[in-house]
Amino acid sequence: MATIKKKALVIGAGTGGYPCAIRLGQLGVDAMLVEKDKPGGVCLNWGCIPSKALISATKLYHKAQHVKDMGLSFGAAAVDMPQMQVWKAGIVKKLTGGVQTLVKGAGTQYVKATAEFLDAHRVRLTYSDGKPEDIVEAEHIVIATGSLPIEIPGFKYDHKRVLDSTSALDLAEVPKRMVCVGGGIIGLELGQTFQRLGTQLIVLEGLPRILNGVDAECAEVVARQIKKDGGQIHTGAKALGWEERGGEAVVKAEVGGKVQEFPCDVILVAVGRRPVTQGFGLDKTGVKVSQRGFIEVDNRLQTSAPGVYAVGDVVGQPMLAHKASHEGEVVAEVIAGRKTINDARQIPNVVFTEPEIASSGLTVEEAEAKGLKTNIGKFPFAISGRAMAIGETSGFVKVVTDAKDDRVLGVHIVGPEASDLINEAALAIEMGAFAEDIALTIHPHPTLGEAVMEAAKHALGEAIHIGNTRKPH
């Protein structure tokens, strides 16, 4: 058993760990990145990337069936699910392969092994190929172990009938009926993916509405689309369990005080994720963990144990890949001795539903809870020339400003390409911009981005292409 000494050790090569390792190498820190499974973590292998690949493919399929008004016809569209899976896997392979190359290119050592803490600064590495174990002694250790899907009583994952997000992405056939337990981001992204291929979707959500935490008006647009495409949404629903009956799965749920049954082919359970903080000796480090299992960190991502840091899903919400990557880079700079803190004003969030939802900053409710008076500007895609031209007119852009000085507090978009349109809003909030800054920025025509400009003008009472509810300055 050899002892390896490093300045820094990063545990986990997901979207928090590998950017940290790359940045450490760039900064000249002698570092090692250890990963027990595949580089890229959940996002690249079993989450963000493969799901968006399937989402893109199924959106194209769905659109091809609804373009007769444009004068287009493609004959009978068909789905080859095995080929779609091959295509998805190819994208994943390219990206994950690039992770190791980037890490090594930056000068950081990449090791495939299972890591276990012996104490706050010593970690044992166990190799799957039978190679003798090593001990790594590091001045700084970064925990980037990610999260796992939550399993609920009565719905043990068997990855045949009862699916988590990973096994749902690997389906070789399109199910005729799917019950989705959970009306959050992951459940609806995947549920609508299969709905576009012809699956009858039934959503069981325990809360009063779907997509809790997302702007309520934006969530309602998605709800309408699910129902328009033949799906069902049951809110205030408590899933009780399921049984095999007559060659199908029958889900029992309490809805409105009554027990109902929902026959289906597969059950997708998507009720959230839990941090991975067990099974690798974290209790030997002195690192404090919250009641919900998340690692507690300060604004430099340092834990209660000196020299031990944590990034990504293990430190709590929002559990987003881009948030994890930013934190990983911050930690690298902290370790390198730079005066860096994690002080992002906003973290944009994207929901790849149909239509897409993207948000940055505060909702109206959040702003008011902080004691702020707000002005709201809205511009619907229904009157956007570009949205009409591409045949995607559902949704709107909503700009929330501080009534005191018109500073942009939040932007919420539901509609085509919301995932890209939100970047302008994120930059505006990060820079402390005012609605006027967006309004006076000339946007090219005809584009979807004009809707952001028009919504900012509407918040000021200066909109040109929609009636103003506020008197202009």
One-character DSSP codes across 428-439? HHHTT-BHHHHH
Burial class (CB in 10 A: 0-12, 13-18, 19+), 131: exposed
In 3-state terms the chain splits into helix, strand, coil percentages (rounded to 5) of: 35, 25, 40
Burial class (CB in 10 A: 0-12, 13-18, 19+), 401: buried
Q: Which two tokens stand for residue 65?
A: 């069936």
How far from 261 is each of 198, 250, 266, 372, 416, CA to CA, in Å? 21, 6, 14, 45, 35
Of the candidates 449, 365, 466, the one whose C-alpha atom is nearest the C-alpha of residue 413 is 449
Please calculate the CA angle 128-28-33 and round it to the nearest 5 degrees: 15
* Catalytic residue list contains 445: yes
Of 62, 322, 412, 445, the active-site residue reads: 445
How far from 179 is each of 151, 188, 207, 250, CA to CA, in Å? 15, 11, 16, 9
Q: Which two tokens stand for residue 190?
A: 């995947």
DSSP 376: E
Handedness of CA 424, 430, 431, 433 (dihedral sign): positive
Torsion of Cα atoms, 322 then 328 then 330 then 334, to 10°: 170
Q: Which two tokens stand for residue 108?
A: 């950081």
On whether the CB atoms of residues 19 and 26 are closer than 8 A, the answer is no
Q: Where are the alpha helices (DSSP H) in 362-412?
A: 364-369, 385-390
Burial class (CB in 10 A: 0-12, 13-18, 19+), 235: middle
How far from 186 is each of 193, 273, 292, 418, CA to CA, in Å? 11, 10, 20, 17
What whole-number distance in Å separates Cα of residue 8 and Cα of residue 435?
Answer: 44
Q: Where are the alpha helices (DSSP H) in 315-355?
A: 321-335
Catalytically active residues, by annotation? 445
